[in-house]
Amino acid sequence: MASWKCSDCKQTNKEAQFSCSNCDSMGFLMLDNADEMEVERSMSKKRRRVDDATVSQGAGQVSILDQESDECIWIKDSCNITVKSHDTQAAVSLQVGLQLAIALVLSISLGDSDQGRAIAQEMFQKFDDTQTNVQKIYIENSKDCEIVTTDTDLSVNIQALLEVLVTLVARLDIF
Amino acid sequence: MSNLPKNQKGIPNIAVDLLVSEIFRKNGVNLNNAKSKLSDEQKTAIKELVEELSSQVDSFMNSNNEKR
């Protein structure tokens, strides 16, 4: 039989127990002589069966947007080259503004409740994304060139957030 | 330097509408309750905020399209 150690009082418990026999804590620390995954699976199954178990999750985990823009432009043996690189900072601040507005509308209309936070979290979770934009431009032996680079992925994201905001206020009869 | 089509459309309205109503339904939100919590003053403020943000998004999208 596999065993586990309580994270609070270090009491060794049998795998079949889902709370510590000494201090009743449900935290477990070490797994002896056991397939870790197996014990963890059976522990979590047992915990789920406890009626008063609560699942708490920080509502602050909203919108994890990981964005990377790598831009490399080589210009070699050339003249009269114009480079226009679109400023993505403006887009990022727009996005933050939109997210703030959505959170604000929800917090006013639903009150500062767990429900409001859960909804806000869910709305932003739809936009959890990682974007990587890699652009490499190499110019050699050229004259009179114009280079324009734009990060369009983000603008689509902004449009989507705006649509959510507009739908939200329409639902609340603000317009 | 984008390979995307020039006139990029956002998500269809119906999808966003469904998303919002599904989230409300799932979390058991009473819309009438929520509506009653909003004062006229707040409604005007939110309306202005949304208008301001959508004009900002519009001008951003336009400047994006012009540059391409």
> Are A89 and A39 found together in one domain?
no
Number of domains in chain A: 2
How far is A122 from chain B, CA to nearest CA, in Å?
Answer: 7
Q: Do B16 and A167 touch (CB under 8 A)?
A: yes
Q: Is residue A57 part of a domain?
A: no
pLDDT of residue A42: 58
Minimum-distance CB partner of A91 among B11, B24, B60: B60
pLDDT tens column, A98-139? 888 888 888 888 777 777 777 777 776 655 556 666 778 888
pLDDT of residue A120: 76
Q: Is residue A30 part of a domain?
A: yes
Q: Do B34 and A110 touch (CB under 8 A)?
A: yes
Task: Please give the angle made by the CA atoms of B37, A123 and B49, to the nearest 5 degrees.
Answer: 55
Q: Is residue A58 part of a domain?
A: no
A39 Cβ neighbours under 8 A, 6+ residues apart: A2, A4, A15, A31
Q: Do B1 and A148 touch (CB under 8 A)?
A: yes
> Are A71 and A150 found together in one domain?
yes
> Are A11 and A86 found together in one domain?
no
Q: Is residue A60 part of a domain?
A: no
> Are A29 and A100 found together in one domain?
no
> Are A90 and A145 found together in one domain?
yes
Q: Is residue A54 part of a domain?
A: no
Nearest CA in chain B to A109: B34
How far is B61 from chain A, CA to nearest CA, in Å?
Answer: 7
Nearest CA in chain B to A173: B35
A140 Cβ neighbours under 8 A, 6+ residues apart: A74, A75, A76, A77, A78
Burial B2-11 (b: 16+ CB within 10 A, else e): beeeeeeebb
| Maximal CA-CA distance, chain A | 80
Calculate mean pLDDT across residues A76-98. Answer: 79
> Are A113 and A146 found together in one domain?
yes
> Are A14 and A97 found together in one domain?
no
pLDDT tens column, B10-45? 677 888 888 888 888 888 888 888 888 888 888 888
pLDDT of residue A7: 73
Q: Does A100 touch chain B (CB under 8 A)?
A: no
Q: Is residue A59 part of a domain?
A: no
pLDDT of residue B6: 47
pLDDT tier, B65 (very low <50, low <70, confident <90, very high otherwise): low
Interface predicted TM-score (ipTM) over 0.95: no
A132 is in which domain, residue-wise?
A: 65-171
pLDDT of residue B5: 47
pLDDT tens column, A2-61? 677 777 777 777 766 667 777 776 666 545 554 555 555 555 555 555 555 566 555 444
Residue A148 pLDDT > 70, yes or no? yes
Rounded to whole angstroms, the Cα distance separating A53 from B54 reads: 43
Q: Does A118 touch chain B (CB under 8 A)?
A: yes
Computed from CA positions of residues A48, A50, A51, A53, in that sequence, does the dihedral angle turn out positive or negative?
Answer: negative
> Are A114 and A145 found together in one domain?
yes
> Are A80 and A150 found together in one domain?
yes
Minimum-distance CB partner of B60 among A123, A155, A173: A155
Q: Do A172 and B31 touch (CB under 8 A)?
A: yes
